[in-house]
Amino acid sequence: MTGQPLSDRFQYKTADALRRKAEALGVDLPFENDLRILLEPADVGGQRVPNRLAAQPMEGCDGTPDGAPGDLTTRRYERIASGGSGLIWFEATSVAPDGRANPRQLFLSAGTAPAFRRLVDLTRAAARRRFGDRHEPYLVVQLTHSGRFSRTAGEGRRKATCFNPHFDRPVAGMAPPPEHPLVGVARLLGLGAAVQSEVPAVPAVATGLSWLRQFWPPVAAGLLTRGMAVFAGLGRGAFAYPDAAADLMARGVLDRTKCCIACSRCTELMRIGSTAGCAVRDHPLYSSLHRAAMASARSVP
């Protein structure tokens, strides 16, 4: 032990300061200042993907009672598509009526398929409107069955046992993790790289970048340059800053004031049974939802 706190607030003003912290912690974070690789096209199964930026599956818990995409679902994917992500990974979508993780999870069935068709058309149209015909995002859907974690309408909220908020993403504002968040970020990126090296023919999507805020692009470019992944994935980053790819295309840098701050409010929204979105950057829609949802959760005896 060095006597330093294991966790600290995000206090890095420059990519260099972040790099120095990583070095001090002994974690291997690749940095590459030339970001062009992020905007290069890729090939997935013979289909062209316009760039290497992937919006990861992020559940908004805003489907209709029968599992079709709702208005907020459509809003989310139109925002992501017109933000320029080359690969859009649609959120957890149940394949069975009793396999939904929450009553507003999407459910793909013969009855809801036309609404999904429309969602796909609107998503593609949003990308085309902004970037033209050469930019057609690659669309993937995450099909799921939540097994023993399924929860349908009428069932109460499940009590989380052994919930570790830091397990698949470092978060601020929760009890500190037993390690510096950068160690967790490096571990996630390393796991992705291990998968990529085991199955080089399958393009891997790197995950865990959102915690790095405005400095994720040089780390993502470093990963891709080293062959540690083919795509740079953003989960919470896609909620907070759906047009990050467009800003990179236009200006070569991110706007710090639009970045995810890893505060975990979107996770809180999901856990208390609300529809989820970025309560910090997607203002006023999700900030007021978060305020109202937290007040109502507090008032429950």
Binding site for ligand SF4 (CB under 6 A): 236, 239-240, 260-266, 278-281
Least distance from ligand SF4 to the Cβ atom of residue 288, Å: 13
Least distance from ligand FMN to the Cβ atom of residue 37, Å: 19
Single residue of 63, 69, 237, 242 touching ligand FMN by CB under 6 A: 237
Q: Of these partners, ligand FMN, ligand SF4, none, which one is at the site of residue 207 (CB under 5 to 8 Å by kind)?
A: ligand FMN
Instruction: Name beta bridge partners: 233.
Output: 54
Residue closest to ligand FMN when measured from CB atoms: 235
Q: How many CB atoms lie within 10 A of CB 297?
A: 14
Q: Which is nearer to ligand SF4, 135 or 281 (CB)?
A: 281
**Residues 141-160 vs ligand FMN: string with x where CB under 6 A?**
-x------------------
Least distance from ligand FMN to the Cβ atom of residue 91, Å: 4
Contacts of 275 (CB under 8 A, 6+ apart): 60, 61, 62, 72, 104, 269, 289
Q: Which is nearer to ligand SF4, 186 or 266 (CB)?
A: 266
- Name which of residues 99 to 138 contact ligand FMN (CB under 6 A): none
Q: Of these partners, ligand SF4, ligand FMN, none, which one is at the site of residue 235 (CB under 5 to 8 Å by kind)?
A: ligand FMN
Single residue of 91, 137, 232, 289 touching ligand FMN by CB under 6 A: 91
Least distance from ligand SF4 to the Cβ atom of residue 216, Å: 12
Q: Which is nearer to ligand FMN, 43 or 168 (CB)?
A: 168
Q: Of these partners, ligand FMN, ligand SF4, none, which one is at the site of residue 276 (CB under 5 to 8 Å by kind)?
A: ligand FMN
State the Cα–Cα distance between residues 109 and 294, nearest whole angstrom.
Answer: 33
State the Cα–Cα distance between residues 67 and 49, nearest whole angstrom.
Answer: 28
Single residue of 7, 56, 102, 150 touching ligand FMN by CB under 6 A: 56
Q: Of these partners, ligand FMN, ligand SF4, none, which one is at the site of residue 265 (CB under 5 to 8 Å by kind)?
A: ligand SF4
Candidates 50, 52, 48; CA nearest to 32 is 52
State the Cα–Cα distance between residues 80 and 242, nearest whole angstrom.
Answer: 5
Q: Of these partners, ligand SF4, ligand FMN, none, which one is at the site of residue 219 (CB under 5 to 8 Å by kind)?
A: none
When asked if residue 276 is in the footprint of ligand FMN (CB under 6 A), the reply is: yes
Q: Which is nearer to ligand FMN, 125 or 173 (CB)?
A: 173
Instruction: Name beta bridge partners: 53.
Output: 232
Residues within the interface to ligand FMN (CB under 6 A) = 56-59, 91-92, 142, 168-169, 207-211, 234-237, 266-267, 270, 276
